[in-house]
Structure 1
Amino acid sequence: MISIAAIRRPLPLVLVSLAVPLFAQTAAPYTPTTAKHAMVVTIQHDASDAGLEILKQGGNAVDAAVAVGFALAVTYPVAGNLGGGGFMLVRMRTDKHGKLLKTPEAHFLDYRERAPGAATADMYLDKDKNVIKGMSTSGYKAIGVPGTVAGLTYAQKTYGRLTLAQDMAPAIRLATNGFVLSAEETKFLQTKYIEKDPESHRIYQRNGDFYKPGETFAQPELAKTLTIIATHPDDFYHGDIAKRLAAFVQAGGGLITEADLASYQVKDRTPIYGKYHGYDIITSPPPSSGGIVLVEILNILSTYDLPKLGPDRSAAQIHIITEAFRRAYMDRSDYLGDPDFNTMPLAQMADMKYADAWRASIDPVKPTPSDVLKRPAGFLPPPPAVLPAHESPQTTHFSVVDKDGNAASSTYTLNAFFGAGITAGNGLGFALNDEMDDFTSKVGVPNMFRLIQGPANSIAAGKRPLSAMTPTMVLKDGKLILVLGSPGGSTIITTVANDIISILDNGLPVQQAADAPRFHHQYLPDRLDLEKKFPRTVAEQLKAEGYVVNQAAEFDEKTSGVWGDSELIAIDPKTGVLTGGQDQRRHFGKAAGY
């Protein structure tokens, strides 16, 4: 039986704790990295070292984040990219010259991909208005106008302290001289998804002579492209690179033109702010759905004493948290899209009275079936007709904090694994996104992750698709205490919520929070997803309570059965010591600090 203690109460600041979660016996025996001055955490160790190198040269958090972004384009080509897009949340305590600001400033840089000018709402439908399988997920017509280069160069120029050439030097070196591949990284390069694309097969798979662990992987064409960007960043959108890229995509039947590239702009947006048990949350606005859904989840949970229900990942806690997930994702389904094309009820969704009304509908002992869930009346406008959209888990996140307390939290993506499965030819040497798949294709047709969204996310020329990417920061009494985010497609928001709850509510150390088994519910389909290593006893309890439980790859030992990749930094508000939590679901990442 699950019980509830719905009492608002102040929480102590606990970033390190003796709290014992149910999964403690399975936690990875990994010692987190601590540092006194600065920290970089990424999924790939060479990229982390690139960021640290820039910090030691006097660069700030944005310089380091830019260095990491370009380095991951070399060392993690399944998601790191020049041919994709993403978001970067920055919080600056100093200006770009190192002078302390009177008030810290937070900015959300939107460098999400855009639909080409020739894109249409029905471009992936056949003559009978049925979705053409695979057309939006692979090949040239799946490619959106990339934003990464614009985003990273804008960040560097606007907030960085060094020069772009300095920040890009590590990436150029890694592409020119190569980097040593681990066993896990060689497996990524051996994927069948890119075998049919000549450029991808040649560059990443050595024309079938697959790279082996311990070998060095150099990318001379990418090195030349990076070198041009470092000295002439506008070339990617207005110069020779733009001409070569547009010509290549059009030759393959894609839509991107030189005009599409020339018209691309980074959006410097206002972040979304929320509160949770006395903490301040700074997070992602649309076209990310992540921030507002995260705030809505935390608002619903704000009166529960979760530790009183049971330890971290106990069935009692999971029930209440899952019901908050369910309700917030219902709103995500109906209302969110590109803010340049839609008006969205964000203030109403973040209203605490609305959260109170949602909370009142949560049964203390059993789940609410999604098909009978009713939104509280009187808060939001009627939703438009429901449409689906896609969201891929093949993304990556990195977090940075510098010696002055400036911070950057960035999530970027190619969308699917190696994006569209196409690598740009004409001497360019970088993978291209399949971000058009993140738009709605047809009414009533579920996407590959069964994620439902509204017509606010329909395809239109120049539009940015909705995303779940959720770079986030947490403050206490004005002091930065947590920088976080994750890849994972539709599971990103729940992964970030899991991490926040584990650290702030349950007192888990940052590394243990990163490694904790994850759970996810997204309203539809009406099922509770659990990672493979989730304790079986808890899964059985949840089934007994009435949940349809899907434990990822529980019968397939060849499948990892995991999702997401938390790259966390916690800052002790008393000592200033930084602790990096590098997700041990992958073993080639690194938390690097000094």
Structure 2
Amino acid sequence: MLKRAMLLVSVLLGVGLMNAQQTMRPVIRGRRYAVASMKPEATQVAERILRAGGNAFDAAVAGQAVLGLVDAPNNGVGSDAVILLWDARARQVISINAEGTAPRLATIEWYRANQGGKIPVDDTLLSGTVPGVVDAWYLLLDRWGTMSFAQTLAPAIEMAEQGFPLSNRLAASLNNTRKLRKYPSSVKLYFPDDRRWQPGDIFRNPDLARTLRRLVEAEQQNLGKGRHEALRAARDRFYKGDIAREMARFSEHNGGLFRYEDFASYSAKIEEPVWTDYRGYRVYKNASASQGPAELFALNILEGYDLKAMGHNSAEYIHTAVEAVKLAMADRDKYLGDMDRIQIPYQGLLSKQYARERRKLIDPDRASLEYRPGEPERFAGLELLPRPADYTVAGPGEHEGDTSYLVIVDKDGNVVSFTPSLHTSFGTGVVMGDLGFSFNCRGDYFSLVAGHANALEPGKRPRSTLQSTLVLRDGKPVMAMGSPGGDDQCLRTMQTFLNMVEFGMNVQQAIEAPRWTTRSFPSSPFPHRMYPGDLGLEERIAEPVRRALEQKGHKLRMYGPWSLGSNAAIVVDPLSGVISAGTDPRCDAYALAW
């Protein structure tokens, strides 16, 4: 028992072969709490809430609301989101599915008749889904929080009204995102006087401040009915009140398919997560309309190998991991989707027996160029159901995905792993009238092939790339992590997890280690392109490793040495109680702890 405990401590604190490795950033450690997010301002605001007596759930709402300002290309009030949380009092992992739903007017037939069988992604409301993040705020505050909308939204309202200095990244995004110049409402917000933004310029969003104040006003007007009713009134003003009517009116006047009923009928969902055990660690992911379970499929396959003996980022290790990911992502494409509309054979997909069968398909000497989903129904006692593939074999292209992330551990041991997103930069790029935000454009993840697990249907949630991660050991949370990056999200969190568990890195080393990626599976955005044999490597991966991978048939693309970002993670040592946070130097992510 003592030996096992010492091994766990060495993994979590990074005491091992990698402990001499220097990092660009330090591990941020504390004993009471830790916060990490994609932007310093959001991390600071979340910590301010914790210092004021709020818990992780209160801090998550405040932090994400600020992320929507300072990380506006990647998330905001118009976002969809997925959350995993650990309720320390109930000792339970819970999933919040705040993925958006398609408008009721959105059908495969409509897009075939009116858009040439395509789902346009930019400059249009036709790729949007109903924003879910405001309902996620409500659920966090109502079920687990202690504070009000007035308290948690105050920092975002202040920053939106008074302004904040632009980061280098945000200034560049504003200047370079052409779709923001198409709609007058977007030009009014982002380019007053046709200005070109510079880092350090003060940016204001008074329209968003007014929108958030309307939520607070609804809450304040209903305080006499009790906390639950007051919070609900704020939430309902967005989805059923004047804000919903303004969104619907703007949509109808600007060629969108959203109508009032789409917002009024929307509800984020509290769900059971899915999990698998990997070498004594129980890894949790969001179950419905998320790609997260694909990482579990890959881990089950990889558990059958001695990865540590292969060596970190050796050709053998990268090849094996990439081949496992190809198989997992093929199953993602064929089987995962909105559990309200389809049956997902998780009993088979997550079984160790199924993983053994899938493992047999990996050739240690040759990269697969095939799309090879399996038949998990055979391992779940279900009838085999044919599902059509939906992908196009294509040439080189760029990665897509604009998402943010926030993770918090508080003094009581509560954990929130929160992944909000607009999908592409600034989502649709269409600011919704005078409301100060644009919708996500997640609708282009739908398939227009009838019968596909992710086929478009009115009111359906698309299977997105969003995923959050929580890891337990002996029934206690020991890791929480997440990452932007579209289809890469699972790949990045899996590499970070394996860097700690298999190779003894601490959380910061695990995040900073050189990364690989692949697109040798159907991509999530329309038209779901696949690049057989593709393998992307950061330049820090050694030249002999690259040559060995090419000899196995991988088609290499090289990225800059620090190009495949970004991650944030928190690790908890269950013996000492020390909380360690790491953030990615590939981006503006920032951590604080106390």
Change (3 A) 1:135 1:211: same
Q: Pick from 223, 227, 248 the counterpart of residue 246 of structure 1.
A: 248
Q: Pick from 143, 154, 161 the counterpart of residue 176 of structure 1.
A: 161
Structure 1 CA distance, aligned partners of 2:372 and 2:415? 43
CA deviation profile, 1:288-329 (whole Å, cap 9, x unmatched): 121x2111111111132211111x222121111112111111
Aligned to 2:99: 112
**1:439 positional shift:** 0.7
**Aligned to 1:411, what secondary structure does the other structure show?**
strand
Structure 2 CA distance, aligned partners of 1:360 and 1:204? 53
Q: Does 1:214 align with 2:200?
A: yes
Q: Specify the code of the residue in structure 2 equivalent to 1:489.
A: G
**1:11 positional shift:** 6.8
Contact 2:49 2:58 in 1 (8 A): yes
Q: Specify the code of the residue in structure 2 equivalent to 1:393.
A: G
**1:457 positional shift:** 0.8
Q: Pick from 24, 28, 34 the counterpart of residue 29 of structure 1.
A: 24
Q: Specify the code of the residue in structure 1 equivalent to 2:447.
A: T
**Aligned to 2:88, what secondary structure does the other structure show?**
strand
Aligned residue pairs: how many? Answer: 553
**Aligned positions of 1:564-575 closer than 5 A:** 564-575=565-576
Contact 1:397 1:565 in 2 (8 A): no
Q: Pick from 402, 420, 439 the counterpart of residue 428 of structure 2.
A: 420
Contact 2:161 2:204 in 1 (8 A): yes
Contact 1:11 1:505 in 2 (8 A): no
Q: Does 1:529 align with 2:531?
A: no
Aligned to 1:301: 302
Structure 1 CA distance, aligned partners of 2:422 and 2:100? 9
Change (3 A) 1:308 1:151: same
Aligned to 2:341: 341
Please report the RMSD computed on the Cα atoms of aligned residues, expressed in angstroms: 2.5
Structure 1 unaligned segments of length 5 or more: list them: 1-9, 95-100, 444-453, 555-559
Change (3 A) 1:371 1:111: closer
**Aligned positions of 1:35-114 closer than 5 A:** 35-94=30-89, 101=90, 104-114=91-101
Q: Pick from 259, 262, 271 the counterpart of residue 260 of structure 1.
A: 262
Aligned to 1:502: 499
Change (3 A) 1:374 1:19: same
Contact 1:88 1:410 in 2 (8 A): yes
Q: Pick from 146, 151, 154 the counterpart of residue 166 of structure 1.
A: 151
Aligned to 2:480: 483
Change (3 A) 1:434 1:372: closer
**1:379 positional shift:** 3.5
Change (3 A) 1:46 1:298: same
Contact 1:33 1:579 in 2 (8 A): yes
Identify which range, 45-54 or 212-221, moves more after superposition: 212-221
Contact 2:331 2:373 in 1 (8 A): no
Q: Pick from 389, 398, 403 the counterpart of residue 386 of structure 1.
A: 389
Structure 1 CA distance, aligned partners of 2:371 and 2:257? 39
Aligned to 2:554: 547
Q: Does 1:123 align with 2:131?
A: no
Structure 2 CA distance, aligned partners of 1:372 and 1:144? 30
**Aligned to 1:87, what secondary structure does the other structure show?**
strand
Structure 1 CA distance, aligned partners of 2:416 and 2:374? 38
Q: Pick from 416, 423, 437 the counterpart of residue 408 of structure 1.
A: 416
Q: Specify the code of the residue in structure 1 equivalent to 2:345.
A: P
Q: Specify the code of the residue in structure 1 equivalent to 2:194.
A: G
**Aligned to 2:406, what secondary structure does the other structure show?**
strand
Contact 1:146 1:433 in 2 (8 A): yes
Contact 1:391 1:415 in 2 (8 A): no
Contact 2:469 2:480 in 1 (8 A): yes
Structure 2 CA distance, aligned partners of 1:228 and 1:471? 30
CA deviation profile, 1:374-407 (whole Å, cap 9, x unmatched): 7689447243111249995111111111011100
Structure 2 CA distance, aligned partners of 1:45 and 1:377? 46
TM-score of the two chains, using structure 2 as the length reference: 0.88
Change (3 A) 1:274 1:186: same
Structure 1 CA distance, aligned partners of 2:579 and 2:374? 44
**Aligned positions of 1:270-309 closer than 5 A:** 270-290=272-292, 292-309=293-310
Contact 1:138 1:419 in 2 (8 A): no
Structure 2 unaligned segments of length 5 or more: list them: 1-5, 219-233, 393-397, 522-529
Change (3 A) 1:493 1:126: same
% identical aligned pairs = 31
**1:496 positional shift:** 1.3
**1:366 positional shift:** 2.8
Structure 2 CA distance, aligned partners of 1:17 and 1:146? 39
Structure 2 CA distance, aligned partners of 1:20 and 1:551? 27
**1:549 positional shift:** 1.8
Aligned to 1:140: 125
Change (3 A) 1:432 1:403: same
Aligned to 2:181: 195
**Aligned to 1:432, what secondary structure does the other structure show?**
coil
Structure 1 CA distance, aligned partners of 2:237 and 2:371? 51
**Aligned to 2:117, what secondary structure does the other structure show?**
coil
TM-score of the two chains, using structure 1 as the length reference: 0.88
**Aligned to 2:12, what secondary structure does the other structure show?**
coil
Aligned to 2:14: 17
**1:124 positional shift:** 2.7
Change (3 A) 1:545 1:168: same
**1:363 positional shift:** 2.3
Aligned to 1:461: 458
Q: Specify the code of the residue in structure 2 equivalent to 1:487.
A: P
**Aligned to 2:479, what secondary structure does the other structure show?**
strand
Structure 1 CA distance, aligned partners of 2:92 and 2:490? 24
**1:21 positional shift:** 6.6
**1:67 positional shift:** 0.9
Q: Pick from 179, 182, 191 the counterpart of residue 205 of structure 1.
A: 191
Structure 2 CA distance, aligned partners of 1:202 and 1:511? 41
Structure 2 CA distance, aligned partners of 1:372 and 1:261? 38
Contact 2:86 2:477 in 1 (8 A): no
Q: Specify the code of the residue in structure 2 equivalent to 1:396.
A: S
**1:574 positional shift:** 1.9
Contact 2:73 2:170 in 1 (8 A): no
Q: Specify the code of the residue in structure 1 equivalent to 2:325.
A: F
Structure 1 CA distance, aligned partners of 2:66 and 2:427? 18
Aligned to 2:224: none
**1:479 positional shift:** 2.0
**Aligned to 2:191, what secondary structure does the other structure show?**
helix
Contact 2:562 2:586 in 1 (8 A): no
Change (3 A) 1:249 1:561: farther
Structure 1 CA distance, aligned partners of 2:105 and 2:23? 49
Contact 2:38 2:590 in 1 (8 A): yes
